Chains A and B, each alone.
Chain A
Amino acid sequence: MAGYIFRRVLQAIPVFFGTTFLIYFMVFAMPGDPIVALFGDKTPNPAVIEQLRQQYHLDQPFIVQYFIYIGGIFRGDFGISFSGEPVTQILARTFPVTIRLAVLALLFQSIAGIVVGLYSGLRKGKLFDSSALVVSLILISLPIFVIAYVAQYVFGVQLGWARTTVGSGAPLQDLVMPALVLASVSFAQIVRLTRSSVIETSGLDFVRTAYSKGLSRRRIVPVHILRNSLIPVVTFLATDFGVLLVGATVTEGIFNVPGVGNTLYQAIIRGEGPTVVSFVTVMVLLYLVVNLVVDLLYGLLDPRIRLVK
C-alpha cells in the first residue's frame, strides 16, 4: 500500500512540472502587454512601466521568469498579483469557497445520481425509468450556463426560494443552488451510468445464484447488485472532479461566487501570469490527490484490484 502511494506521488512530479510549464508558457504567449493593459485608456509614465516590469520580472526572458516563479513556489511564495495582494492570500480566500461548492455538488450528484440510477435500473422500461432517461438526456444536452440562468430566474427571481447571487463569505445556504446547477450534468451522467451498470449486473450469473441460495431481493439489491455496479461510477467520479472545477468557473461567474473560478477568470483576462499559474497548479495538485483517493477507494470496492498491484 505505502509503496503504491509512493509510486503515485512520484508520478505526480513530472505532471506538476509539465502542467505549470505549459500554463506559464500559454499565459506568456497571450497577445497584448499586461502592464499597458493595467492602465486602460490612460497613457502611463514609461518610468512606472519599467519599474513594474522589473518588479514582476517581465523584462527577463521567458524561461528565466518560469524558474524564478517555480523557485518561489518551493519557498511558499506564489508571487504577487497585479493588485499588490500576495497570491497565497487569494488562494487562501477563494479555495475554501470553491471546495465547499464542489463538495456540495459532488455529494448531490453522487447520492441523488446513484439512488435515481439504481431505482431506474431495477425498474427498466417502467415509467420512472423512462422519465429519468428523458430528464437526464435534457440535462446532458443543455450547456451549464443555460441551466444556471434558468435556475437563477425561476428559483431566485420568480419563486424567491433562493438568493440569486451568493452573498459575502459565501454561506452554505447560498451555495445550494449553484451546487445543484454545477452538479446537474454529472448527476444526469451518473444516473445513466448507474442505471446501465445495474441492469448489466442484475443479469449476471452470480445474482441468479444469490436468489437460488434463498436470499431476498432486499438483500440482493444492495449487497450483490449495487456494490458491483458502483465500480464504473467511482471511476467516473474521479475524472469528473476536473469537470466540476471547470464548471465552477462558469457557475461561479453567474452566481457571483467569490471562489476560484471567478478569480481565475479575472486573472486570465488581465494576463496575470503568477496568479493563473498558481491557481492552476493548486487545481492540478488537488486533482491528482482526488484521483489517488479514488483509486484507493476503487481497491476497496473491488478486491481483484486490491490484490493485483
Chain B
Amino acid sequence: MTATDASAAPIDGSTVTPLLDIKNLQVGFQTQRGMVTAVDGVSITLMPGETLAIVGESGSGKSTTAHAIINLLPGSGRITGGEILFEGRNIAALDEKQMEEIRGRKIGFVPQDPMSNLNPVWSVGFQVEEAIRANGIATGKQDVKKRAIQVLTEAGLSDADKRLKQFPHQFSGGMRQRVLIGMGLSSNPKLLIADEPTSALDVTVQRRILDHLEKLTRDSGTALVFITHDLGLAAERAEQLVVMYKGKVVESGPSREILQNPIHPYTQRLVAAAPSLASRRIESASKPLDGLGYEATRVTEGVDLIAAAESRVEGHAAATDVSAAIAVKDLTKVYKIRGGKGAASTLKAVDGVSFEIQRGTTMALVGESGSGKSTVAKLLLRLEDATSGEIRIDGTDTAPLKGKSLLALRRKMQPVFQDPYGSLDPLRNIGNTIAEPLSVFKVGDSKSRRARVNELLDQVALPKSLVTRYPNELSGGQRQRVAIARALALKPEIVVLDEAVSALDVLVQAQILQLLTDLQSELDLTYLFITHDLAVVRVIADNVSVMKSGRIVEAATTDEVFGNPREEYTKELLDAIPGANIPLGV
C-alpha cells in the first residue's frame, strides 16, 4: 500500500524520482522482554513539492516513522528493516556524520511540543543562528543575524529583530512554534517533517500557523510530511493521506477520497469520531437530501457522535423542568500581579460575566487560552473567591457559604479536569480514588461504598477488575473515565468539565463525549463544559458562550452560534475548526 497508487503519475508523463520513498520500514524498540515492533512494514512515497499527512492515534507509530526518517529515534529505538530512499539514496544506512549533512540542510523538522523543544537557557536568536551557521547557509556574524531575522519574519514572528535576544520563556506557545517552523525551514530543505506542529495550540493560532506553513512550503516548493491525530486537519492540509494503526499503514491515497469513502474499518471509525468532521456531519445530516450518502459511511462499530447528539436533543425535549441550576451575574475576578519593582498591577481575568444554565442542560464556555474560562470554573466551584458579582446555585448565593454549607455545595457540584494524568493520586488505587468523596462525606459504610464504586465503574463502562489497579496502569481514556466516576460518586447535580476531553485521542474523546451525553440523560445532570475546541461543542452543548479577554462576547444556542455567528471572533473560531471547510460527500 503506497500513496503512489492513485496520484504520483507526473503530469508531463516523464518518470520523476520520488523525493522520499520509504520501503517496508521496520522500527523496533529494545525492551526487557525483547524487541517490540513499533513500525511494521510501512511504505510511503512522496513526490517533490507534495504534501502528505500521516494520521493515527497515539501509539500508532506515526511519530516513530517521522523520527526514523531523520534517524533520531528515542532511546533504544532502531531501524530493523526496510529502506528510506531520499533522492534515491538510502539514508537509513548512513552513519552519524553523513546524517548530520542531511538533517537541517536537506530535511527540516518541526517538532510537536513548542514548550519543550527550545532550550530554555539560550536566547531564541542564538538557537536560530546556530542552525543557520551549522548548515553553512550564511557565514559572518551580520549575515547570519540577517538570515535569522529573515527566517523568523517569514515564519510570521513580528519584530523578529528585537526578539532575537529574548528567551523562549518570554514567548507564547504560538510564537515558539513559529520559531521552530522558522528553524525547520531556515536552510531551505527539500523536505519538511512537521510532527503535530500545532496540537498544543489554540484553534485560531493553529489555523494561522498552518496557513503560513502551507504558504511557505508552496512558495519554496518544499515537500511536507505532516503528522497529526486529527483527520479533519489532515484532510484539509494534505493532498495525500496515510492512515496508520498499530505500526501499520492501513489505508493511503488522496485525502478527499479517503475521507469520503474510507475502506478500512479503522479509518471508518476515525472518520466517524473526528469531532471536527462530526459537527459538520450533523449539519449535513439535518438536510434530508444528504441522508443517503451519510448512511453509506455510517459505522456500526465504535462510537457514533451523531446519534449521541440526537439523543441529547430528544432528551431535552422531554425535560420540562427549566429552572436555572446555575445563575451567574456580573462575575468579576481581578488578580494582583507583582510588578518588576514592587509596583503591583492588576489583571481582570473575568470581567462582568453573566450566564444561566438550566437544569439538565449543557452550556459550553468557549475561548482561547487566557480568555478567563478556567477562572470562571474556579470561581463557580468556589476554589477561588470572586472579586465582585454573584453566583447562585439553585437560587442560593454561594459567596457567604462556609464550613458545613460550603461542603454541602461542593457535594452538589463536582469537577472533572483536563489532565487525566495529573488529577488522579498515583498512590491510590482506582477503587479508593472513586470512593474518596464518599468517605469524605461519610456516605454509607464500607460495604455500601464498595457497591457504589462498582455501580459507578459500570456507569462509566469500566471493568470492575480495575478497582485494585493504580492510575499508571490505565490509559488516558480510562483515567478520564475514573475522574468522571469520582465526580459522579456523590450524585451531584452539576458537573464542571474543564477541558475534560482535550487531552484525549479522537476515538477516546468520542467515547467520553458519548458517555457524558448518556449520563446526562440518565441522571439529569447539568454540565458546564469548558473547552477551546469548538468542534466538540457541537456534539455536547445546548448553549454556547464565547469568551474573549474575560468577557462573554456571544451567547446563544449551539445551533445559532454555528449557523449564524454574530461576532467576528466567533466566526474566526468557527473557521479555525480544521476540516470545517472540506466539502464532505455526506
Contacts and interface: CB of A to CB of B under 8 A. Distances in A.
A91 interface: no
Given A205-B113, A209-B111, A224 B119 contact: yes
Contacts of B469: none
A214 B100 contact: yes
Given A304-B167, A307-B167, A213 B119 contact: no
Nearest to B183: A213
B130 A215 contact: yes
Contact of A208 (B74, B130, B169): B74
A211 interface: yes
Contacts of A211: 70, 72, 103
A74 B103 CA distance: 65
A204 B74 contact: no
A228 interface: yes
Contacts of A206: 116-120
Interface string B94-112: 0010001111110011011
A301 interface: yes
Given A206-B116, A208-B111, A219-B130, A213 B104 contact: yes
A210 B113 CA distance: 14
Contacts of A217: 96
Interface of A: 3, 203-206, 208-217, 219, 223-224, 227-228, 231, 301-304, 307
17 contacts: A203-B74, A205-B112, A205-B116, A206-B116, A212-B70, A212-B184, A213-B103, A213-B135, A215-B104, A215-B134, A219-B130, A224-B119, A227-B121, A228-B119, A231-B121, A303-B120, A303-B167
Nearest to B114: A205
A49 to B, nearest CB: 58
B467 interface: no
B109 A209 contact: yes
Contacts of A210: 119
6 closest pairs, A vs B, by CB?
A214-B104, A212-B109, A213-B131, A205-B116, A214-B103, A206-B119
- Counting chain B CB atoms within 10 Å of each CB, the highest count among A212, A215, A302, A304 belongs to A212
Interface string B219-252: 0000000000000000000000000000000000
Contacts of A205: 111-113, 116-117
Given A209-B118, A213-B183, A219-B130, A203 B109 contact: no
A213 B134 contact: yes
A203 B341 CA distance: 38
B75 interface: yes
B28 to A, nearest CB: 19
B15 to A, nearest CB: 30
Contacts of B169: 303-304, 307
Interface of B: 67, 70, 72, 74-75, 96, 100-105, 108-109, 111-113, 116-123, 130-131, 134-135, 167, 169-170, 180, 183-184, 186-187, 341
A206 B122 CA distance: 11
A209 B75 CA distance: 15
Nearest to B103: A214
A228 B135 CA distance: 24
What does DSSP make chain A's interface, helix, strand, loop or mixed?
A: helix
A243 to B, nearest CB: 27
Nearest to A300: B121
Contacts of A223: 122, 130
B69 to A, nearest CB: 10
A203 B183 CA distance: 20
B117 A214 contact: no
A84 to B, nearest CB: 52
A305 B40 CA distance: 45
Nearest to B102: A214
A212 B72 contact: yes
A219 B72 contact: no
A66 to B, nearest CB: 36
B63 to A, nearest CB: 11
Contacts of B70: 211-212
B105 A214 contact: yes
A267 B70 CA distance: 67
Contacts of A208: 67, 72, 74, 111, 117
B224 to A, nearest CB: 15
B131 A215 contact: yes
B135 A214 contact: yes
Given A203-B75, A209-B117, A216 B134 contact: yes
Contact of A216 (B100, B116, B117, B122): B100
- Counting chain B CB atoms within 10 Å of each CB, the highest count among A204, A208, A301 belongs to A208
A213 B131 CA distance: 6
Contacts of B135: 213-214
A306 B476 CA distance: 37
Contact of A209 (B123, B134, B180): B180
B104 A204 contact: no
A309 to B, nearest CB: 8
A205 B180 CA distance: 12
B495 to A, nearest CB: 35
Contact of A212 (B111, B116, B120, B123): B111
Contacts of B184: 212
A204 B75 CA distance: 11
B137 to A, nearest CB: 10
Nearest to A224: B119
A228 B105 contact: no
A49 B184 CA distance: 84
